């Protein structure tokens, strides 16, 4: 019997590496015992020699990888064995996933669905509590007890949604920390680690000051999802106490850094004050987001605009076009791309053969920014702070629509989507794979074409714009061929 002891409860890559070694050694599923930190023998069982061998390993269908990545977060102790059994069987028959009556396949699908449901519940029911420390810095924390190990897959959703806040989500098996810039995972905690209501509690302050320590986070990441109760059994455990003791200084450092944020960050700081996390965490659909955006106070642009202009198009469109911000006509109509730039876009989209009715169209910034000049309202480019503040809403659209391809129209959209300033000429013409696997194409904004006075130059730029859209069309065609 070969024993495999995994360090993490839900790390697909760790399992995959072990499973590959077993396959290469030709070890059958019934000869493997899988353990993880939650198993009784978890950390202390002997593994014996790691498997070795050179047997060829065949590729598996992407659908298996996708399901397995999710199912591995199920708390069913048999999940690793089930995945390995399926992997073993797929070596002989790549089509077994298509047999939905196969008991292993049914179980895999069931495990993955349960995890997705749990993740969805986390998105819907996490309630952040506000904690303001002596310096006035506000942070948020939430306690949640998922049925499965789904914090890691769900935390990026909160990072996108509450990008401007500093927050922690504590669960019994792991914690997630967002410092406004990066997401880190640490050990689990207890319900008492998080206050019941928006009060500053002494215990909580102690806990918080240590978990937000950068040094502690490093340790936490080293330990991965290992429950804290196991730490004492590890040789490195003696390092932890001194690190936590050093937490206060490092935290003070962090507070000072936040207090001296550059100007554009002040917009985020302001946005943070206005956030009502409870209300926002109740957004569980595109329709909720569409309604909530009208109350947005994340930056001052709402003050002069007629209304927020949210995206439009099929809820599960495969393609999303992202423009800059609504123009004068869009601001009045409450719909994106209905003015002159929209006409240019529609014509080009139709010319290259993209079905416009299957495209979701939106903007990086939802309120019209302008300068009044007489009776006219002159378009103003949104600044970095406004783009960042509004990324919250674009994230929600991406989260709910789940496009496979996104097209950034112009530098503002590209900046919002890439998180850095972007030069169109350097980025256009080739797909960019985003962190979540979405394919991004960058091209000019259609209104740029309208502003070119020289006829010849305009024709040339129009042709380049259409050539970019041809790439998008081909990507859509390839996607459709796969389904
Ligand atoms: N320009 C944009 O970027 N978006 C619109 O909706 C209209 C004009």
- For ligand 1, the distance from its centroid to the CA atom of residue 270, given in whole angstroms, is 26
Confidence of residue 153 (pLDDT cuts 50, 70, 90): very high
Query: Which ligand 1 atom lies nearest to the CA of residue 341?
Result: 8
Measured CA to CA in angstroms, residue 443 lies from 101, 317, 360 at distances of: 46, 20, 17
Tell me the mean pLDDT in the region 62-77: 93
Say what the pLDDT of residue 296 is: 85
- For ligand 1, the distance from its centroid to the CA atom of residue 374, given in whole angstroms, is 22
330 lines ligand 1 (CB under 6 A): yes
324 lines ligand 1 (CB under 6 A): yes
Measured CA to CA in angstroms, residue 271 lies from 187, 287, 302, 435, 455 at distances of: 30, 22, 12, 25, 44
Give the span between the Cα atoms of 180 and 193, in whole angstroms: 21
pLDDT of 10-29, one tens digit each? 999 999 999 999 999 999 99
Tell me the mean pLDDT in the region 378-387: 94
Question: Which residue of 382, 447, 448 sits with most ligand 1 atoms within 8 Å of its CB, as the best mutation to test the pocket?
Answer: 447
- Of the candidates 85, 179, 163, 169, the one whose C-alpha atom is nearest the C-alpha of residue 119 is 169
Locate 122 and state its tokens.
Answer: 């986390």
- Mean pLDDT score of the chain: 81
Give 43 or 313, the one with higher predicted confidence: 313
- For ligand 1, the distance from its centroid to the CA atom of residue 322, given in whole angstroms, is 9
339 lines ligand 1 (CB under 6 A): yes
Alpha-helical segments (H) within 173-327: 202-211, 214-223, 237-245, 247-259, 263-274, 277-280, 286-292
pTM: 0.49
For the ranges 63-77, 120-134, 219-233, 260-274, the one whose mean pLDDT is highest: 63-77
In sequence order, what DSSP letters do the residues of 459-474 get, joined into one string? HHHHHHHHHHHHHHHH
Give 241 or 138, the one with higher predicted confidence: 138
Parts of the chain belonging to CATH 3.40.470.10 = 266-482
295 pLDDT higher than 90: no
Give the span between the Cα atoms of 416 and 288, in whole angstroms: 22
Q: Which residues contact 470 (CB under 8 A, 6 or more apart)?
A: 352
User: Among the listed ranges 102-106, 107-111, 188-192, 422-426, which one has the minimum average pLDDT value?
Assistant: 188-192
- Of the candidates 341, 343, 378, the one whose C-alpha atom is nearest the C-alpha of residue 363 is 341
306 pLDDT higher than 90: no
Tell me the mean pLDDT in the region 47-63: 77
Say what the pLDDT of residue 245 is: 37
Tell me the mean pLDDT in the region 347-363: 96
pLDDT of 421-474, one tens digit each? 999 999 999 999 998 889 999 999 999 999 999 999 999 999 999 999 999 999
Tell me the mean pLDDT in the region 367-393: 91
Tell me the mean pLDDT in the region 167-182: 89
User: Among the listed ranges 166-180, 234-248, 321-335, which one has the minimum average pLDDT value?
Assistant: 234-248
Measured CA to CA in angstroms, residue 190 lies from 119, 169, 184, 204 at distances of: 19, 11, 18, 11
Tell me the mean pLDDT in the region 376-394: 93
Say what the pLDDT of residue 239 is: 35
- For ligand 1, the distance from its centroid to the CA atom of residue 363, given in whole angstroms, is 7
Tell me the mean pLDDT in the region 146-154: 95
Locate 45 and state its tokens.
Answer: 């069982």
- Of the candidates 164, 167, 173, 147, the one whose C-alpha atom is nearest the C-alpha of residue 155 is 167
Say what the pLDDT of residue 277 is: 42
Locate 61 and state its tokens.
Answer: 């269908």
Say what the pLDDT of residue 162 is: 78
pLDDT of 318-344, one tens digit each? 999 999 999 999 998 889 999 999 999
- For ligand 1, the distance from its centroid to the CA atom of residue 80, given in whole angstroms, is 49
Give 47 or 313, the one with higher predicted confidence: 313
Say what the pLDDT of residue 155 is: 92
Locate the DSSP E strands across 307-463. Answer: 319-323, 359-363, 370-373, 376-379, 405-409, 432-433, 439-443
363 lines ligand 1 (CB under 6 A): yes
Residue 361 main-chain phi, psi, to 5 deg: -115, 130
Say what the pLDDT of residue 41 is: 56
Give the span between the Cα atoms of 415 and 422, in whole angstroms: 6
- For ligand 1, the distance from its centroid to the CA atom of residue 329, given in whole angstroms, is 9
Tell me the mean pLDDT in the region 43-60: 69
Tell me the mean pLDDT in the region 158-181: 86
Tell me the mean pLDDT in the region 284-310: 87
Say what the pLDDT of residue 328 is: 92
Query: Which ligand 1 atom lies nearest to the CA of residue 445?
Result: 3
325 lines ligand 1 (CB under 6 A): yes
Give the span between the Cα atoms of 249 and 208, in whole angstroms: 13
411 pLDDT higher than 50: yes
Give 448 or 189, the one with higher predicted confidence: 448
CATH number 3.40.50.1000 is the correct assignment for the domain at 266-482: no
372 pLDDT higher than 70: yes
212 pLDDT higher than 80: no
């Amino acid at each position: 019997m070969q024993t495999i002891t995994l360090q993490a409860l839900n790390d697909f890559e760790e399992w995959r590496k072990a499973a590959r070694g077993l396959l290469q050694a030709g070890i059958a599923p019934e000869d493997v015992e899988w353990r993880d930190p939650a198993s009784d023998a978890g950390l202390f069982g002997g593994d014996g020699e790691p498997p070795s061998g050179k047997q060829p390993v065949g590729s598996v269908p992407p659908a298996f990888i996708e399901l397995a990545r999710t199912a591995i977060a199920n708390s069913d102790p048999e999940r690793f064995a089930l995945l390995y059994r399926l992997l073993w069987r797929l070596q002989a028959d790549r089509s077994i996933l298509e047999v939905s009556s196969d008991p292993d396949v049914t179980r895999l699908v069931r495990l993955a669905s349960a995890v997705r449901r749990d993740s969805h519940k986390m998105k819907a029911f996490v309630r952040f509590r506000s904690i303001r420390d002596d310096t006035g810095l506000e942070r948020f924390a939430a306690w949640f007890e998922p049925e499965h190990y789904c914090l890691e897959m769900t935390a990026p959703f909160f990072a996108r949604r509450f990008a401007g806040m500093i927050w922690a989500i504590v669960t019994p098996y792991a914690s997630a920390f967002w410092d406004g810039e990066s997401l880190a995972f640490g050990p689990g905690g207890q319900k008492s680690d998080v206050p019941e209501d928006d009060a500053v509690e002494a215990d909580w302050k102690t806990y918080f000051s240590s978990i937000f320590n950068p040094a502690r986070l490093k340790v936490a990441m080293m330990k991965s999802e290992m429950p804290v109760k196991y730490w004492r059994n590890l040789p490195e455990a003696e390092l932890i106490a001194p690190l936590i003791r050093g937490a206060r200084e490092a935290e003070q450092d962090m507070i000072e850094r936040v207090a001296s944020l550059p100007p554009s960050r002040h917009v985020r700081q302001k946005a943070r004050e206005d956030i009502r996390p409870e209300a926002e965490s109740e957004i569980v659909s595109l329709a909720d987001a569409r309604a909530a955006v009208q109350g947005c106070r994340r930056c001052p642009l709402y003050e002069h605009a007629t209304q927020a202009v949210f995206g439009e198009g099929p809820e599960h469109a495969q393609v999303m076009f992202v423009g800059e911000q609504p123009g004068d006509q869009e601001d009045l109509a409450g719909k994106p791309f209905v003015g002159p730039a929209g006409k240019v876009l529609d014509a080009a989209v139709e010319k290259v053969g993209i079905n416009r009715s299957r495209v979701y169209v939106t903007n990086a910034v939802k309120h019209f920014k302008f300068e009044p000049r007489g009776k006219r309202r002159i378009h103003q480019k949104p600044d970095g702070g406004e783009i960042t503040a509004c990324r919250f809403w674009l994230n929600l659209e991406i989260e709910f629509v789940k496009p496979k391809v996104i097209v950034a129209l112009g530098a503002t959209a590209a900046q919002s989507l890439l998180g850095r300033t972007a030069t169109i000429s350097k980025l256009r013409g080739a797909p960019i794979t985003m962190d979540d696997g979405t394919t991004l194409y960058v091209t000019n904004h259609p209104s740029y074409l309208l502003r070119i006075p020289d006829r010849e130059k305009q024709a040339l730029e129009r042709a380049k714009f259409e050539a970019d859209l041809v790439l998008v069309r081909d990507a859509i065609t390839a996607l459709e061929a796969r389904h």
